Amino acid sequence: MTLHVLDPTNETAPPLGQPAPRHATLAGKTVGVISNGKEGTKGFFAHLDRMLREELGAAAVVTRVKANYSAPAEAPILEEAKGWDAVITGIGD
């Protein structure tokens, strides 16, 4: 019997991406917040919502929670995010 050992490392580096352009200000903007749904995000995102509105002048803060914390955001959330000016994602571990 022959034992084959596979090398799990990737041989090629992933392509480098470009950061999204930054807004000079969030005043008057709609900011989306995508939570992984874990308990630790609730208080943090509530505070973040207040800061975005009161200190940075965001016109609206939209919070969405993913159905599965270990999976990508669902298609409806991603579609809705196209209408947001900025997006913040977070984990609550």
pLDDT in tens, 8-66: 887 788 788 888 889 999 999 999 999 998 888 889 999 999 999 999 999 999 999 99
Residue 18 lies in a domain: no
Residue 68 lies in a domain: yes
pLDDT in tens, 67-79: 998 899 999 999 9
Residue 75 lies in a domain: yes
Model confidence pTM above 0.75 = yes
Residue 76 lies in a domain: yes
Residue 10 lies in a domain: no
**Would you state the structure tokens that stand for residue 93, as one six-digit string?**
């571990």
Residue 43 lies in a domain: yes
Q: Could you tell me if 16 and 71 are in contact, meaning their C-beta atoms sit under 8 angstroms apart?
A: no
Overall domain count for the chain: 1
Q: Could you tell me if 80 and 32 are in contact, meaning their C-beta atoms sit under 8 angstroms apart?
A: yes
Residue 45 lies in a domain: yes
Residue 48: domain span: 31-85
